[in-house]
Amino acid sequence: MNTKTFLLAGLAVALVIAAMAPFIASSNPDGLESAFFGIFGAKEIQGSEINEEHAEAAEEEIAAITGNDFSFESPFPDYSIEGLSKFGEAAAIIIGTVLVLGIAFGLSRIMARPE
């Protein structure tokens, strides 16, 4: 298999995974987000229900402690395009995947140039 075929196959696999992810992923927060909400009392450690009022208060408290208050809006908040439900999530992930792969490809081309 030549390099071009290998790269195109990798791109195809990445795009299939990006398109399928929202449909098979859990809607319950996990990992760092779940631990954060558990520590600040916005959810039970074993449960999946989030108390939105407590969650917002926890985020405000952390912003006050750390001074980290974002000054810009995300182009795809929560990895989604508003109003498109799961298809908006898939589109946002596909766009992000293509952008990251494009940046990686561009950087690799720049770095591989002979001096």
| Domain segments of the chain as ranges | 3-111
pLDDT per residue as tens digits for the range 35-58: 777 777 777 766 667 777 877 888
pLDDT per residue as tens digits for the range 55-86: 788 888 777 877 776 666 778 877 788 888 88
Tell me the C-alpha distance between 32 and 38, whole Å. 10
Name the nearest CA neighbour of 37 among 49, 20, 24, 25: 49
Tell me the C-alpha distance between 97 and 54, whole Å. 33
pLDDT per residue as tens digits for the range 5-32: 998 999 999 999 999 988 888 776 567 7
